[in-house]
Homo-oligomer: A and B are copies of this chain.
Amino acid sequence: MTTLQDCRAMDAQDPLRPLRAHFSLPDGVIYLDGNSLGVAPKAAAARVAEVVEQEWTQGLIRSWNDAGWVHLPQRLGDQLAPLIGAGPGEVVCTDTTSINLYKVLSAALNIVRADAPGVDTPARTKVLSERSNFPTDLYIAEGLCHERGLELVLLEPEDIAAALQDDVAVLMLTHVNYRTGAMHDMAAITAAAHARGIVCVWDLAHSAGAVPVDLHADGADFVEWRASKSADFAVGCGYKYLNGGPGAPAFVWVHPRHAGRTDLPFMQPLSGWFGHAAPFAFTPEYQPAAGIRRFLCGTQPILSLSALQCGLDVFGAAQALGGMAALRAKSLALTDLFIALVEERCAGHGLGLATPRAHGARGSQVCLTKDEGAYAIVQALIARGVIGDFRKGDGARHPDILRFGFTPLYLGFEDVWHAVEHLRQVLESAEWQRPEFKQINAVT
């Protein structure tokens, strides 16, 4: 049996422990919801104050040049790139995940259309995704399929491989599932899709900053696209594991083989002025910028981008302590510990494990199931300061979920101990059955 002393010893030996000091952790809270909204980096308050009081108030319009606002989406993109195996100049931080997904899914479909061989080949009329993909991804895909007369096919994960056929245009998946924490093998799936001529769009919302990602899985060598396991397009979220603040701008990555195409000026349809080759020439005709900058659209929210930078800065500090490999090792140790403690100390209450045990198939969260009361248990835990969240299910295949995210940047092993101890107490006292914990809030 694991003890509290064991957990304290693990914290004492944790090489990443100094990173906790970069965050403002509220008193009395064990925060297991960094996969929904990350904790505030300590630097954020001062940085945002500087932007408001100096750059905006004093600098005014001059700060677009003098404070470098105009380059912020690319600069933050370059800072983020190493976390996802992207190169410099391949990522921009901008807009929202939903909007970036619209851009890249449109771009993927436009590429398929442009590259379609002659009429003898069966048309690619399907977009594949996972039924339990995050809903906004499905809504965006549904809208685009509706507009273009395509079919959105939603599959269970085990059915994806067999569905990669010549009638598929695009495969759109989220790398780590928001409900279960299950992680796809991105390179293997991408390779299988490419072999059938299918373009791959990956959502890294629950991956970036949480698990190692290698968008250039081919490495540096040029590989013919049909044989390539490098991704085509990716988007992700700034406010989860990147700790960029509430509603922080998202990011978008495009493989240079696609971003560099000059035959499709409207490859991405949100052709706003910040994606123009020369935005301040004010010419009436659109001409896309070279590379990833063409995936920008309008003027970006500078205050929110500035806070995101503080989140990304912490990963710079993490780099000196082993970077994503060290973060991944700690993340797996935290989630292993949580699973073990729940099984040791919360048995007999009908909890199930929705997250894969295999390390290679697990993100940085652990999801539990319970036939009855999942929502109320989460509320009872929140009342005790143990903040996880609830995700609604829709039947036996996708049950209600108690979701706990583990951010190795600021969580310790003792936190995991106390979280499970609170869970044990909530379950054993039937505290969760109090009426106040059954009241559904707007956002949970």
Cβ of B36 and Cβ of A271 under 8 Å apart? Answer: no
Chain B residues whose C-beta falls within 8 Å of the C-beta of A98 in the assembled complex: 270, 272-274, 297-299
Please tell me if A97 contacts chain B, counting CB pairs below 8 Å: yes
Please tell me if A248 contacts chain B, counting CB pairs below 8 Å: yes
CB < 8 Å: which of B64, B282, B286, B297 contacts A142? Answer: B286
Rounded to whole angstroms, the CA-CA distance of A24 and B147 in the bound complex is: 47
Please tell me if A356 contacts chain B, counting CB pairs below 8 Å: no
Chain B residues whose C-beta falls within 8 Å of the C-beta of A57 in the assembled complex: 24, 26, 39-40, 44-45
Q: In the complex where A45-B52, A299-B247, A392-B282 touch, is A276 in contact with B139 (Cβ < 8 A)?
A: yes
CB < 8 Å: which of B49, B140, B266 contacts A272? Answer: B140
Contact pattern, A 50-67, Cβ under 8 Å of B = 1, otherwise 0: 011101111011111100
Cβ of B99 and Cβ of A303 under 8 Å apart? Answer: no
Please tell me if A232 contacts chain B, counting CB pairs below 8 Å: no
Q: In the complex where A57-B24, A272-B136 touch, is A281 in contact with B45 (Cβ < 8 A)?
A: no
* Given A96-B272, A247-B301, 7 other A-B residues pairs in contact with their CB atoms under 8 A: A26-B60, A69-B247, A70-B442, A138-B286, A139-B273, A146-B265, A283-B394
Please tell me if A202 contacts chain B, counting CB pairs below 8 Å: no
CB distance from A407 to the nearest CB of B (A): 12
Please tell me if A389 contacts chain B, counting CB pairs below 8 Å: yes
Rounded to whole angstroms, the CA-CA distance of A57 and B102 in the bound complex is: 31
Chain B residues whose C-beta falls within 8 Å of the C-beta of A134 in the assembled complex: 273
Please tell me if A86 contacts chain B, counting CB pairs below 8 Å: no
**A377-424 CB contacts (< 8 Å) to partner B:** 382, 387, 389, 391-392, 394
Rounded to whole angstroms, the CA-CA distance of A297 and B26 in the bound complex is: 31
Chain B residues whose C-beta falls within 8 Å of the C-beta of A173 in the assembled complex: none
Cβ of A298 and Cβ of B96 under 8 Å apart? Answer: yes
Please tell me if A246 contacts chain B, counting CB pairs below 8 Å: yes
Please tell me if A285 contacts chain B, counting CB pairs below 8 Å: yes
Could you pull out 8 A-B pairs where Cβ atoms are within 8 angstroms?
A: A24-B57, A64-B246, A69-B246, A96-B297, A135-B284, A136-B273, A139-B276, A245-B301
Rounded to whole angstroms, the CA-CA distance of A187 and B69 in the bound complex is: 37
Name the CB-closest residue of B to A285.
B142
Please tell me if A249 contacts chain B, counting CB pairs below 8 Å: yes
Of A39, A44, A69, A269, most buried by chain B (CB within 10 Å of CB) is: A269
Cβ of B143 and Cβ of A284 under 8 Å apart? Answer: no
**A15-60 CB contacts (< 8 Å) to partner B:** 24, 26, 29, 31, 33, 36-37, 39-40, 44-45, 48-49, 51-53, 55-58, 60
Rounded to whole angstroms, the CA-CA distance of A70 and B286 in the bound complex is: 35
Contact pattern, A 233-250, Cβ under 8 Å of B = 1, otherwise 0: 000000100000111111
Of A33, A63, A96, A132, most buried by chain B (CB within 10 Å of CB) is: A96
Contact pattern, A 104-133, Cβ under 8 Å of B = 1, otherwise 0: 000000000000000000000000000111
Cβ of A144 and Cβ of B443 under 8 Å apart? Answer: no
Please tell me if A165 contacts chain B, counting CB pairs below 8 Å: no
Cβ of A270 and Cβ of B140 under 8 Å apart? Answer: yes
Rounded to whole angstroms, the CA-CA distance of A442 and B274 in the bound complex is: 12
Cβ of A269 and Cβ of B147 under 8 Å apart? Answer: yes
CB < 8 Å: which of B249, B269, B271, B442 contacts A64? Answer: B442
CB < 8 Å: which of B61, B248, B441 contacts A36? Answer: B61
CB distance from A75 to the nearest CB of B (A): 13
Chain B residues whose C-beta falls within 8 Å of the C-beta of A249 in the assembled complex: 301
Cβ of A143 and Cβ of B282 under 8 Å apart? Answer: no
Chain B residues whose C-beta falls within 8 Å of the C-beta of A36 in the assembled complex: 61
Name the CB-closest residue of B to A48.
B52
Cβ of B248 and Cβ of A301 under 8 Å apart? Answer: yes
Cβ of B99 and Cβ of A99 under 8 Å apart? Answer: yes
Cβ of B39 and Cβ of A49 under 8 Å apart? Answer: no
